[in-house]
A and B are shown apart, each in its own frame.
Chain A
Amino acid sequence: MQLLYLIVPLAPLVGALIAGLFGWAIGRRGAHWITILLMIVSTVVSAVVFLDVLGGAADNVTVYRWLDSGNVSFQIGFLIDRLSATMMLVVTFVSLMVHIYTIGYMADDPGYQRFFSYISLFTFSMLMLVMANNFLQLFFGWEAVGLVSYFLIGFWYTRPTAIYASLKAFLVNRVGDFGFLLGIALVLMYFGTLDYAAVFAAAKTLAGNSIELPFFWWDFKWSLMTLICILLFIGAMGKSAQFPLHVWLPDSMEGPTPISALIHAATMVTAGIFMVARMSPLFELSETALSVVMVIGAITALFMAFIAIVQNDIKRVVAYSTLSQLGYMTVALGASAYAAGIFHLVTHAFFKALLFLGAGSVIIALHHQQDMRHMGGLRKYMPVTYLTMVIGAISSAGIPGFAGFFSKDAIIEAVHFSKLPGSGFAYFAVLTTVFVTALYTFRLLFMTFHGPERFRGGEHHDDHGHAPHESPAVVTVPLVLLAIPSICAGWFIGPVLFGGYFGGAIVVAAPHDVLGEMGRHYQGVVAMMIHALGTAPFWLAVGGIATATFLYLLRPDLPAVIKGKAGYLYTLLERKYGFDEFNDWFFAGGARLAGGGLWKGGDVAMIDGFINGSARAVGWFAGVLRTLQSGYIYHYAFAMIIGILLLLTMVFIA
């Protein structure tokens, strides 16, 4: 079995190395065949491991000792349980779909081999992250996925916006990692190990500890678990783009669409969610941390959804939708409904990857036009893309029967049952977001596929003359393959959420066990759907769809009127609450100002001023001394006489 575990991440790594280092030799076909074949190997082996784990197997193996220091041994190793096996399957499956899709999407790109190398390298990194059995390897994978994300956002390296966005993404993530690494350092300090198993086993005994943080004259006293969990969560906020570290994700859309689907929707951005779920034995020990998680998630879910309504770039709508959905997952974590968070992670991976790849299909059909104001009426030209996108949209809006409904409804219910401080606000936020989600999702659908055809005469398309056509099979087949789980993945809600699916991988303290409470009312998939028809979330979703229908199908003149009336609010949303401007001004500008001030004022003026000043002082002093050494005998004789007189005076006075 252990060999199989190794194959899962190493197969994509080998693919990445071959495509990256020898892409010039094997050519474009060679690059995609090798990486895809190795991805198939990885996916199949993941499935084997998954089935094995379903059969009750669980494993914790060490691969090699990375470093010994002090009395700690840092190791690389795998923890294979229900949680990691599920993630492995999702990651490899979505990655495989994206690999195939890329053949079509990147067909004309000169960086073809490089792209395949990157996405395979990403898959390796993500697998190392989810399979880790210790914090160190988690951090490895964490940073490695960030690295590949940086490469891929800046894939088109001559575009100023792309290389700006890639740097921004890396640095914002680094702010999160700052907290994450400190959290890991505290874990090592108090537990003496970074192995999950040992840390989780000892967590309860350290629950009551508090930590003093002497800062010069002040003494801060914190609950140890609260501090550790919040620091770790800061890492999750960076990677999973939670408010206020969300700013990098919309800009990451500068990268090619396949990676928006793979990295910035389905897998990498969910690493933070996965991490918190993995750390459930720690988070369960701090209600303060859970509250923080829930409130941050709720803020993200609600306020990012609002922005999606006013975006016109098709990818940015989906990007803000991703932010909002990540907020849902975070809320679930805060409500201790970890299983629901992971379940939504999985269903979201399918329907969001589908929406992204569908958007990409539209974008290639329109020759890289991304502005929805230059789309419309595409449904008769691109039926497969249209139908699969409809499935994705319905799933995303949470209509009963589709995957998104089950996972989202479970989260809303879980927040309803939660008694932690902040759960009231969170419940309001997730409910409101249901309406907004349906509204922006169907707005996207209507603006793109319905209504008048606005793509003729657009700046990108005017001289082509022929009608847009459906994308090739390498694009549509992944769409169909993703549409299937976007419908049915939710039907497994019973065993996953209420059947103890995750077993010991997720720990929930009895007072927080909202899913257990919900499980007592759960009577099967159909009953849940019927019950939902009488609840608020369903009617809010329907209301959202109805509003979108009215505004964008029936009265397409109205949005402009509303925009005129709500000018101030519209500007606020369009400028994304001004976070980018503030960060550019305060953090980027402030750091440059401070750096310049310290350099010119500190290094050049003060330190070098002092050093060169003392050098000049020595020179001046030497000059003074030099005048004394005039070379005239009578000068020296005179000086001697004065000296003798002075000495005599001193002797006599004494």
Chain B
Amino acid sequence: MLLGFNLLNLAIWIPIAFGVAVLVTGSDRNARLARVIALIGAVLGFAVTLPLYTGYDRLATGFQFTYFAPWIESFNVNYHLGIDGISLLLILLNSFTTVLVVIAGWEVIKERVSQYLASFLFLSGVMNGVFSALDALLFYVFFEATLIPMFIIIGVWGGPNRVYAAFKFFLYTLAGSLLTLVALIYLYNVSDGSFSLLDYYRLPLPLAPQIMIFIAFMLAFAVKVPMWPVHTWLPDAHVEAPTGGSVVLAAIMLKLGAYGFIRISLPIVPDASHTLAGFVIALSLIAVVYIGLVALVQADMKKLIAYSSVSHMGFVTLGIFIFNAHGLEGAIIQMISHGFISGALFLCVGVLYDRIHSRQIADYGGVVNTMPVFAALFMLFAMANSGLPGTSGFVGEFLVIMGAVKANFWYAAAAATTLVFGAAYTLWMYKRVIFGAVANPRVGALADLNAREFLVLGLLALAVLTMGVWPNPFAEVLHTPVNELLNHVAQSKLR
């Protein structure tokens, strides 16, 4: 049997199986059934990831919950799964977000409901696959497979300009990852016919091929993160995507790139990573400062949050490439926190969009007068996005700045400008949308959050606050894999 009992198998295949079940319900006459099945699938998918956290051995090095089965034996491709603390957190975040997305789309999506929900469940399973693959080709397949459901989500349920955005998203990311396959085939050859990441970790490589491989991987990962200057697909994709699509895109899909750097680039080509670190850091800092300024002038709320994502992901790549524990742990914590915060912010915009059908800041003003509960929750997420201590947004930024100053004081100084820029674009938007007198009759007629919306935003608020007040439970699982990775990267693979 291909799939023995293994929690990772369940985390990948339960959402996909339920996705198939949802598809079977067919047309929109059975929409209610489709929603219920999807919710059960999402909750079950999240439930099976919880034992991963409780059962995870914090002190053990290497990968845990491993599963191995041959897949394409003639090419030595294996269905090899396993996680460490880094993937663990991302799997939890992914499965948690899927539950929220299913609830958030409950009444909002009225057309092709089963296909919509199935796409998210497929996506969730496939992304868990990326986070647990230990075979390079398996990783690649999962990595590329994420494009299809997201392409459909944007292209079918998106806004007026959805086709342009969907193609831009698809081609951008696909073009980025083409060279990855070339790099993998090269590695397959020099490793005498292995696709195992663990083999690649031990594989000695001269500097020149390392740099080529690094660049090939980086193209794929940088587009996904997205790093400046290959970020321009993101604002378009976000603006056109339905709320749920934006949430998953920002919360999880962007993390695939950063995860790729951590899982693939750093350990396989450590010397190239060191050689090119300055370059990556420069791009990261440009992202923080340049994108911070660009976010300031956006008139469309979704675009603003999309740019804010690029800026915050700059902290992640910065943290990864300064090669110290504060930086790397900060980067990973920032990834999780950004998942909560950006997801929540897109949901907040969705709440407004569902009522007024506009994303333009100028169409709002004085929302607090009619939606006080919403305003309070939105405030929390806005502050978290500004990196306020006590929210999850602070923890990662704080650690990355603490780590960056060790590498170079000016890195830290450039990164810390986000204290001003991040607060400026987030709170300025908040001020124009939420505060003030009621700006127009449509705002005056707004109804506050319903129970479903309150549940989704409330859960995220709880996550943001818990992680801000007591981040240690999140960080505990990271220490061993981060130390292992840093030790590994410190050793040269040149012979």
Q: Chain B: which residue is nearest A71 at the CB level?
A: B325
**B172 to A174, Cβ gap below 8 A?**
no
**B232 to A213, Cβ gap below 8 A?**
no
Give Cα distance in the complex from A220 to B439, angstroms. Answer: 52
* Chain B residues with CB under 8 A of A147: 383, 388
Answer whether residue A69 sits at the interface, using C-beta atoms and an 8 A cutoff. yes
Contacting residues of chain B (371-404) with chain A, CB-CB under 8 angstroms: 383, 388-390, 394-395, 398-399, 401-402, 404
**B330 to A591, Cβ gap below 8 A?**
no
Give Cα distance in the complex from A548 to B401, angstroms. Answer: 52
Answer whether residue A68 sits at the interface, using C-beta atoms and an 8 A cutoff. yes
**B390 to A140, Cβ gap below 8 A?**
yes
Residues 413-449 of chain B, each 1 if its beta carbon lies under 8 Å from chain A, else 0: 1001101110110011001001111000000000000
Min C-beta distance of A583 to chain B, whole Å: 13
Other 4 A-B pairs with CB < 8 A, given A66-B471, A69-B399, A71-B325:
A68-B476, A591-B421, A595-B295, A602-B290
* Chain A residues with CB under 8 A of B435: 154, 157-158, 163
* Chain A residues with CB under 8 A of B401: 181-182, 185
Residues 150-161 of chain A, each 1 if its beta carbon lies under 8 Å from chain B, else 0: 000010011010
* Chain A residues with CB under 8 A of B413: 182
Residues 121-160 of chain A, each 1 if its beta carbon lies under 8 Å from chain B, else 0: 0000000000000000001100110010000001001101
* Chain B residues with CB under 8 A of A592: 296-297
**A182 to B412, Cβ gap below 8 A?**
yes
**B416: which of A69, A71, A164, A181 is its contact (CB, 8 Å)?**
A181
Answer whether residue B109 sits at the interface, using C-beta atoms and an 8 A cutoff. no
Given contacts A67-B475, A147-B383, A211-B409, contact A591 B294 (CB under 8 A): no
**A188 to B472, Cβ gap below 8 A?**
no
Answer whether residue A202 sits at the interface, using C-beta atoms and an 8 A cutoff. no
Contacting residues of chain B (230-286) with chain A, CB-CB under 8 angstroms: 230, 232, 235
Answer whether residue B359 sits at the interface, using C-beta atoms and an 8 A cutoff. no
**B293 to A591, Cβ gap below 8 A?**
yes
**B436 to A160, Cβ gap below 8 A?**
yes
Answer whether residue B229 sits at the interface, using C-beta atoms and an 8 A cutoff. yes
* Chain A residues with CB under 8 A of B366: 158
**A603 to B383, Cβ gap below 8 A?**
no
* Chain B residues with CB under 8 A of A186: 405, 409
Give Cα distance in the complex from A140 to B298, angstroms. Answer: 30
Answer whether residue B406 sits at the interface, using C-beta atoms and an 8 A cutoff. yes
**B297: which of A171, A599, A611 is its contact (CB, 8 Å)?**
A599
Min C-beta distance of B174 to chain A, whole Å: 13
Min C-beta distance of A232 to chain B, whole Å: 14
**A140 to B389, Cβ gap below 8 A?**
yes
Answer whether residue A527 sits at the interface, using C-beta atoms and an 8 A cutoff. no
Give Cα distance in the complex from A594 to B424, angstroms. Answer: 14
Residues 462-480 of chain B, each 1 if its beta carbon lies under 8 Å from chain A, else 0: 0000000011100110010
Answer whether residue A70 sits at the interface, using C-beta atoms and an 8 A cutoff. yes
**B399 to A167, Cβ gap below 8 A?**
no
* Chain A residues with CB under 8 A of B329: 69-70
Answer whether residue A214 sits at the interface, using C-beta atoms and an 8 A cutoff. yes
Given contacts A185-B405, A592-B297, contact A67 B423 (CB under 8 A): no
* Chain B residues with CB under 8 A of A526: none
**A139 to B389, Cβ gap below 8 A?**
yes
* Chain A residues with CB under 8 A of B232: 603, 607-608, 611
**B368 to A157, Cβ gap below 8 A?**
yes
Give Cα distance in the complex from A523 to B207, angstroms. Answer: 77
**A178 to B417, Cβ gap below 8 A?**
yes
* Chain A residues with CB under 8 A of B54: none
Give Cα distance in the complex from A69 to B408, angstroms. Answer: 19
Given contacts A140-B390, A595-B296, A611-B172, contact A178 B475 (CB under 8 A): no
Give Cα distance in the complex from A143 to B405, angstroms. Answer: 21
**B390 to A70, Cβ gap below 8 A?**
no
Give Cα distance in the complex from A374 to B454, angstroms. Answer: 48
| Listed residue (A160, A164, A213, A611) with the most chain B CB atoms within 10 angstroms of its CB | A611
**B479 to A68, Cβ gap below 8 A?**
yes
Q: Chain A: which residue is nearest B407 at the CB level?
A: A189
Answer whether residue A634 sits at the interface, using C-beta atoms and an 8 A cutoff. no
Answer whether residue A118 sits at the interface, using C-beta atoms and an 8 A cutoff. no
Answer whether residue B324 sits at the interface, using C-beta atoms and an 8 A cutoff. yes
**Could you pull out 27 A-B pairs where Cβ atoms are within 8 angstroms?**
A67-B471, A67-B472, A69-B475, A69-B479, A70-B326, A139-B389, A143-B390, A174-B423, A181-B401, A182-B416, A185-B401, A185-B405, A186-B405, A188-B405, A591-B421, A592-B296, A595-B293, A595-B296, A598-B290, A599-B298, A602-B229, A602-B294, A603-B235, A603-B294, A607-B229, A608-B232, A611-B168
Min C-beta distance of B449 to chain A, whole Å: 15
- Give chain B's interface residue range (CB within 8 Å of chain A): 35 or more
* Chain B residues with CB under 8 A of A157: 368, 434-436
Given contacts A139-B389, A140-B390, A598-B293, contact A178 B416 (CB under 8 A): yes
**A171 to B423, Cβ gap below 8 A?**
yes
Q: Chain A: which residue is nearest B434 at the CB level?
A: A157
**B294 to A595, Cβ gap below 8 A?**
yes
Answer whether residue B455 sits at the interface, using C-beta atoms and an 8 A cutoff. no
Give Cα distance in the complex from A170 to B297, angstroms. Answer: 19
Give Cα distance in the complex from A596 to B296, angstroms. Answer: 8
Give Cα distance in the complex from A82 to B48, angstroms. Answer: 53
Give Cα distance in the complex from A157 to B235, angstroms. Answer: 30
| Listed residue (A164, A182, A211) with the most chain B CB atoms within 10 angstroms of its CB | A182
Residues 55-70 of chain A, each 1 if its beta carbon lies under 8 Å from chain B, else 0: 0000000001111111
**B409 to A213, Cβ gap below 8 A?**
yes
* Chain A residues with CB under 8 A of B412: 182, 185
Give Cα distance in the complex from A119 to B324, angstroms. Answer: 41
Answer whether residue B410 sits at the interface, using C-beta atoms and an 8 A cutoff. yes
Answer whether residue B191 sits at the interface, using C-beta atoms and an 8 A cutoff. no
* Chain A residues with CB under 8 A of B398: 181
Q: Chain A: which residue is nearest B413 at the CB level?
A: A182
Given contacts A163-B431, A595-B294, contact A70 B325 (CB under 8 A): yes
* Chain A residues with CB under 8 A of B190: none
Give Cα distance in the complex from A160 to B366, angstroms. Answer: 11
Q: Chain B: which residue is nearest A603 at the CB level?
A: B232
* Chain B residues with CB under 8 A of A611: 168, 172, 232
Answer whether residue B369 sits at the interface, using C-beta atoms and an 8 A cutoff. yes
Answer whether residue A215 sits at the interface, using C-beta atoms and an 8 A cutoff. yes
| Listed residue (A144, A170, A607) with the most chain B CB atoms within 10 angstroms of its CB | A170
Answer whether residue A284 sits at the interface, using C-beta atoms and an 8 A cutoff. no
**A181 to B424, Cβ gap below 8 A?**
no
Residues 615-649 of chain A, each 1 if its beta carbon lies under 8 Å from chain B, else 0: 10000000000000000000000000000000000
Min C-beta distance of B242 to chain A, whole Å: 23
**A596 to B297, Cβ gap below 8 A?**
yes
* Chain B residues with CB under 8 A of A213: 409-410
Answer whether residue B212 sits at the interface, using C-beta atoms and an 8 A cutoff. no
Answer whether residue A177 sits at the interface, using C-beta atoms and an 8 A cutoff. yes
Answer whether residue B171 sits at the interface, using C-beta atoms and an 8 A cutoff. yes
Give Cα distance in the complex from A163 to B326, angstroms. Answer: 37
Give Cα distance in the complex from A594 to B410, angstroms. Answer: 21
Give Cα distance in the complex from A219 to B435, angstroms. Answer: 47
**A188 to B402, Cβ gap below 8 A?**
yes
Given contacts A182-B405, A602-B290, contact A615 B436 (CB under 8 A): no
| Listed residue (B230, B295, B389) with the most chain A CB atoms within 10 angstroms of its CB | B389
| Listed residue (B294, B330, B399, B406) with the most chain A CB atoms within 10 angstroms of its CB | B294
**A69: which of B325, B417, B434 is its contact (CB, 8 Å)?**
B325
Q: Chain A: which residue is nearest B164 at the CB level?
A: A612
* Chain B residues with CB under 8 A of A189: 402, 405-406
**A599 to B294, Cβ gap below 8 A?**
yes
**A69 to B297, Cβ gap below 8 A?**
no
Contacting residues of chain A (396-438) with chain B, CB-CB under 8 angstroms: none
Closest 7 CB pairs of A and B: A70-B325, A595-B293, A185-B405, A595-B297, A595-B296, A163-B435, A599-B294
**A65 to B296, Cβ gap below 8 A?**
no
* Chain B residues with CB under 8 A of A71: 325
* Chain B residues with CB under 8 A of A480: none
* Chain B residues with CB under 8 A of A170: 423, 427
Give Cα distance in the complex from A160 to B330, angstroms. Answer: 38
